[in-house]
A and B are shown apart, each in its own frame.
Chain A
Amino acid sequence: MTPGHPIIEIEHVTKRFPGVVALNDVSFTILAGELHAIVGENGAGKSTLMKILSGVLQDYEGRLLLRGAPVHFQGTRDAELAGISIIHQELNLVEQLSAAANIFLGRERRTRLGLLNDRLMEQEAGQLLERLECQIDPSRPVSELRVGDQQLVEIAKALGMETEILIMDEPTSALTESEAARLFRVIDRLRSRGVTILYISHKLDEVFRLADRITVLRDGRRVKTLARSETDAREVTHLMVGREIEAVRVGAARHAGEVVLEVRDLSLPWTGHARGWRLRGINFSLRRGEILGIAGLMGAGRTELMECLFGSSPEPPQGRILLEGREFRFAHPAEARNAGIALITEDRKRLGLFAHMTVCENITMCTLKEAVTAGLVSGRRERRIAVDCAKQLGIKTANVDSAVTTLSGGNQQKAIIGRWLLTKPKVLLMDDPTRGVDVGAKAELYRLMDQLCREGLGIIVTSSELPELLTLCDRILVLCEGRLTGEFSRQAATEHAIMEAATLRG
């Protein structure tokens, strides 16, 4: 394909879900060899469009042209055969299998006897991974790899299939800065080989760094397609949100109250691992009306720390946890919840959401008791609780009785936050709460957190994006390999100082 010619033409594509029009008459063209970024707020329809392009969704209205010929994929396999691969935000790997087996899944190399040729596959996988600057052993199970490396395994898989069009859905949302930088180098290399890349992101700095052209979606419609050289972040943001948003300034003149949570000498053993400890000797305290950030690379122990405070760690932690001066040893999340601690989990789909249930049922999950009269749940009262909560948090849904899966990622996250706010917590733990949530919704979340904090809640938040912590937090703690390696006040914190602490080897 010569560069510059249309490779994919999207013509009047409409996709309806029950109660929501996810895509509304979207048409635009993607040129061969370009990096085309697709940006938009929560629920703008980016992911839906990509699922149509990659064959995940099969019934829609409108037409797709690939290299000028109409196509209608009946599955991801069809799309792969046609040279389109997608790297989902939530990775699709078989965790028990090795990296090589994943890369060759479905097109395994065989020996003359028809048996699996693991050696050849590992060798070829090694070559593919090497092209991606990835230094992992292809025979290792994927479950043992870091998220950033797992993602490169997916990219290697796509490369192995001679993919011509690569769709990347929020690829940096789970990556540390250095991993993201490596990914950008990989992307540059792919482009020099002529691969067309569709890049979905809400991080405008990335988009402006990488993209040739930018298509903005809003509420399921295409707003505009712009050349990068002819626009700027302000215009794109404006098009995405439909209004100007001022840079979020939160945290000014907040006053922290008395100490609400105190952690003394907290350690979490790691049986059967060389290091022996997931967390070691952690001391800190959290005040009422304070947002405390936890920074650290993937695997530094951020999630484990949250789990210890919530009674859901894989092994019981050692040390002391004091909530309002009283010592607690939580054996089950129920005890933590009753004591006034709430946790918004990192992996929404796996650990937070009840996909079979409605928005309403998801919101009232922890506090259903409040809608009970004479032992029975009153449907009307339950609904009122959910409707109030949805209104307060601005959850965009046609109806609280719709399936929760019809909501966009950010609105699902809000529903889960709502679920926990209803438990009236004293301490709110948020493990990477803005993962997969975009600009407009993010700003809303920041304001919500600020407001909750001013109402006297103590919040601990982790994030894989440092600017986010710098915006939000009154104090930032840095973890490195399970130890606290730094503490910064709002004034003293800089990205550079934090990264230095996070990469300390101790």
Chain B
Amino acid sequence: MDLSSSWLSRLPDPLRRGLQRTELGLALALAAVIVLAMILDTQHNYWHNPRDSGVEILRQTAMLGIFALGAAIVIIAGGIDLSSGSVISLSGSVCATLMLLLAPQEMRFNKPLGLGVITLAIFGTLIVGLLVGSLHAWLITVVELPPFVATLASLVGLRSLARALVGYFNEGRSQISIFDERFRYLATSVWIPVILLIVLSLLAWLTLSRTVTGRHLYALGGNENAARLSGIQTNRLKWLAYCISALLSSVAGVLYAGAGAAASPETVGKGYELNAIAAAVVGGCSLQGGVGTIPGTVLGCLFLRCVIDGVAKIIKTSADIYEGVIVGGVVVVAVAFTQLRRARRRGKRFFPGSLGIVSILALSMLIGVLAMLFGQKLAWGGNAVGGIAGLAALLFLSLAWFFEQRRERQQGVRASAALPARKQDN
């Protein structure tokens, strides 16, 4: 990987910025995942029928990507937005409620809506998104709540608000169905979300890497005090960042309402805020702020969705249960990968002391349990595979621990060796 930095430095500036190590590594990992899924899948879906899988992955990536862009921008600016899932829920509900208010007869009797009604409803929804973002910015910059707290309140509050709204306007029901074909086409067409993601990410990329505002967002995330003392209007930038994030979540909310043919505030987008943050982090954004790129984030989304889809293809049934395990695992592995590479060079130990021993046990158990679950799915026999994999992991990690111990003893140049020579005086 070190070779890449030398030829990268010779590329023109904007190209180089877009193609840093994280992105290259992600692209390689992506290819590996696809090849692996192709081989391990007993029906070889990716080989025989690449179009259907491709379209599904693209649709899911586009939906996730749209609001993950917002999450990434906020993270780069040194904040965090936990509210996207609930904003998605609220936006779908607001959109459906507006349709219900604008065209009550058509909605009740499942008739097509006018284009004007759809446009107005979507427009109104996006305004609500901007208002939510502004409220976040106000809480953070004026009331001086930490971003985590301000958006946590929205995470918990807005979904509940959406449910109450839907109940209020739709006679106590828990959802509002939307039958209009044209509105549903927004999400089911696939090409609309995909093009939307492409356009939005190009805009975001251009803004972050080539405009003054973008540079200032990085500066804000990297060192807020220095940014303010350089005459950068940090509060306005935060307003912008949180508005972009909420607005993009609203766009996603409209699309999810179209995809589900209903506003169902209770279930839609639940936990998606963490998927968005995960995608940004996998794509190279640092939660400390000031670091990260848009191409990385989009690749992060694509990578996450590919892994989820690949695993679903391999295990066939009830794959949605494993989505959380996959996202969690991918985040840890992706971030740990860069950390470990750095640590390795310094000769740092991975399993030091008693924490190391407990971690080896925990990791072996986790690997065993996962192998048991997947073993059953693949009809290899769950318990046997789980047991063998768990023991193998334990053996392997113990060996790693042993070699670490030995290497350290061989070096024998630890400072403690010099300790006995010290005098004790007071």
Contact = CB atoms under 8 A, between A and B. Distances in A.
B347 interface: yes
Contact of B413 (A70, A83, A337): A70
Interface in B295-326: none
Interface stretch (A175-183, A214-222, A283-291, A350-358): A350-358
Contacts of B219: 354, 357, 365
B294 to A, nearest CB: 15
B12 interface: yes
A58 B346 CA distance: 7
Which of A337, A357, A365 has its CB near the most chain B CB atoms (within 10 A)?
A365
Contacts of B108: none
Contacts of B4: none
Nearest to B215: A368
B228 A333 contact: yes
A45 B51 CA distance: 59
Contacts of A376: 206, 210-211
Contact of A379 (B14, B345, B415): B14
A377 interface: yes
A304 to B, nearest CB: 14
B226 A351 contact: yes
B115 interface: no
Interface string A51-65: 000010011000000
Nearest to A399: B9
B423 interface: yes
A333 B291 contact: no
B15 to A, nearest CB: 10
Interface string A364-391: 0110110010011101100100000000
Interface stretch (B229-237, B379-387, B396-404): B229-237
A343 B212 contact: no
B230 A353 contact: no
A354 B228 CA distance: 12
Interface in B1-28: 9, 12-14
Interface string B326-364: 000000000000000000011110000000000000000
Nearest to B228: A333
Contacts of A245: none
Contacts of B411: 72
Nearest to A375: B211
Interface in A223-258: none
Contacts of A334: 231-233
A83 B424 CA distance: 11
Contacts of B425: 162, 194
Given A69-B417, A377-B211, A336 B223 contact: no
Nearest to A82: B415
A164 interface: yes
Contacts of A356: 218, 222, 290-291
B168 to A, nearest CB: 42
Contact of A74 (B206, B231, B414): B414
A162 to B, nearest CB: 8
B341 to A, nearest CB: 13
B309 to A, nearest CB: 34
B143 interface: no
A365 B217 CA distance: 11
B416 interface: yes
Interface string B220-246: 001101111111110000000000000
Interface in A139-155: none
A67 B228 contact: no
Contacts of A351: 225-226, 229
A71 interface: yes
A338 B231 contact: yes
Nearest to B210: A376
Contact of B231 (A66, A336, A353, A355): A336
A104 interface: no
A59 B414 contact: no
A368 B212 contact: yes
Contact of B229 (A194, A352, A361): A352
Interface in B116-135: none
B142 interface: no
A485 interface: no
A71 B413 CA distance: 5
Interface-central residue, B212, B290, B345, B419, by most chain A CB under 10 Å = B212
A157 interface: no
A369 B212 CA distance: 6
Given A354-B222, A377-B211, A419 B231 contact: no
Interface in B187-235: 206, 210-212, 215, 218-219, 222-223, 225-233
A355 B419 CA distance: 37
B211 A72 contact: no
B422 interface: yes
A328 B171 CA distance: 59
Contacts of A353: 223, 226
Contacts of B223: 350, 353-355
A199 interface: no
A83 B348 contact: no
A78 interface: yes
A357 B222 contact: yes
Contacts of B230: 333, 337, 365-366, 419
Contacts of B413: 69-72
A366 B232 CA distance: 8
A228 B370 CA distance: 69
B222 to A, nearest CB: 4
B228 A355 contact: no
Interface in A153-172: 162, 164
Given A1-B423, A379-B13, A357 B210 contact: no
Q: Considering the complex of A and B, which 8 residue pairs feature the smallest CB-CB distances, nearest first?
A: A379-B13, A337-B231, A78-B415, A82-B415, A334-B231, A356-B222, A376-B210, A356-B290
11 contacts: A58-B347, A59-B346, A66-B415, A70-B413, A71-B415, A312-B228, A334-B233, A353-B226, A356-B218, A356-B291, A377-B211
Interface of A: 1, 55, 58-59, 66-67, 69-74, 78-79, 81-83, 162, 164, 194, 310, 312, 332-334, 336-338, 343, 345, 350-357, 361, 365-366, 368-369, 372, 375-377, 379-380, 383, 401, 419
Interface of B: 9, 12-14, 206, 210-212, 215, 218-219, 222-223, 225-233, 290-291, 345-348, 411, 413-419, 421-425
Given A55-B415, A377-B210, 8 more contacts: A59-B345, A71-B413, A312-B229, A353-B226, A354-B226, A355-B223, A365-B215, A379-B13
